[in-house]
Amino acid sequence: MPQDIFSPSLTTAITRSYWRHAATALLSLCGLLTACGSSGPVQLSEDAAIDVDEAVPHLAEHIDQRISVSGIPRQSEGRCSGVHPLSRNDWMLTGDETCLWVSGRTEDVRLLDIRPGLSKKTVTVTGTLVRTDQGIFVLKVDDR
């Protein structure tokens, strides 16, 4: 008959440690799945504005659609990479992490509002989302 190589107290300690780690991993996985899946898909439309940080990861699904996005207006010191994609008058809607180029003017955004650091007022912009040949997303404000 083979002898146990571990003492009963060591076996008990290993078993408890295993189940404690397994329970922690399971709870973490449940929390991750809940956090990732509870909000459902983000819907962009012109009827309800969504924050630029929430909108940017989903822009590819909404090309050539009219959408409303909110953020802080900035000229060229925002987080968007590259140069003005459509014209020198393009500006940015910025969030905490992301930004979106905007082409055209709205009543809510004056030229002074988009200068560096002058305004922290969030504005909502509605327009048609396009993607340039370089792959840059731009919200084109049109006269409607």
Q: What is the dihedral of CA 129, 90, 117, 127, to 10 degrees?
A: -30
Give the H/E segment covering residue 27. helix 8-37
Q: How confident is residue 80, by pLDDT bands cut at 50, 70 and 90?
A: confident
Residue-level pLDDT at 32:
41
Tell me if 93 sits within 8 A of 72, measured CB to CB: yes
Give the CATH fold of the 50-140 domain: OB fold (Dihydrolipoamide Acetyltransferase, E2P) (2.40.50)
Tell me if 62 sits within 8 A of 129, measured CB to CB: yes
Every domain of the chain and the residues it spans = 1-40, 50-140
Q: In sequence order, what are the residues at sequence separation of 6 or more whose Cβ sits closer than 8 angstroms to the Cβ of residue 120? A: 72
Q: How many CB atoms lie within 10 A of CB 42?
A: 14
Question: Which pair of tokens denotes residue 108?
Answer: 């809510």
Above 90 in pLDDT, residue 109? no
Residue-level pLDDT at 111:
57
Q: pLDDT, tens digit, for every residue of 64-73?
A: 999 999 998 8
Above 50 in pLDDT, residue 8? yes
Q: Widest CA span of the chain, in angstroms? A: 88
- Mean pLDDT for 32-40 is 44
Residue-level pLDDT at 48:
86
